[in-house]
Amino acid sequence: MTLADLEDDTPITLKEACEVFFRNTLTPDSLRAERARGNLPIMRIGKRDFVTPAGIRGMMSKKCLSEGNQPASTSTPLSASGSSETARTQNAQDAARTSAEKLKRLSKPTLPANSNRPSAKVVPLGSRSPKS
């Protein structure tokens, strides 16, 4: 079966879709995962899952549009004052690091070093096992 043989609404198995559209680089489980993400309509006939070429093309265009147009970097252009988002991020990291260092230091003890409290009396517990 070739791609030219298929009409847009022809049901094909997930395995066939993987062979024809993805040259076996994807598995049927990958297509089921795309269904779970809401990217691919799958129809179940009996105990087999089927897709249409139109559904596969729709998934591929949706994935390309939603993931392909995302910026690869999170940096932003310089502002008028010359500072950049990187500098602001660094300042925030420095502030967080300073706060963490302060929290790591031990707090002062709240109990006086020499408390004249008597220690508690230790009472030995008897054995619960029957005596022989």
pLDDT digits (tens, 9 = 90+) for 66-125: 555 555 556 555 555 555 556 666 777 888 888 777 777 766 666 666 666 677 788 888
- Residue 10 forms part of a structural domain: yes
Length in residues, the chain: 132
Report the domain count for the chain. Answer: 1
Q: Where in the sequence is the domain holding 60, given as residue range(s)?
A: 3-66
Sort residue 110 into left (φ over 0), alpha (ψ -120 to 50) or beta: alpha
- Residue 106 forms part of a structural domain: no
- Residue 60 forms part of a structural domain: yes
- Residue 93 forms part of a structural domain: no
What sign does the dihedral 65-68-73-74 (CA atoms) show? Answer: positive
In terms of pTM, does the model score above 0.95?
no
Residue 128 pLDDT more than 80?
no
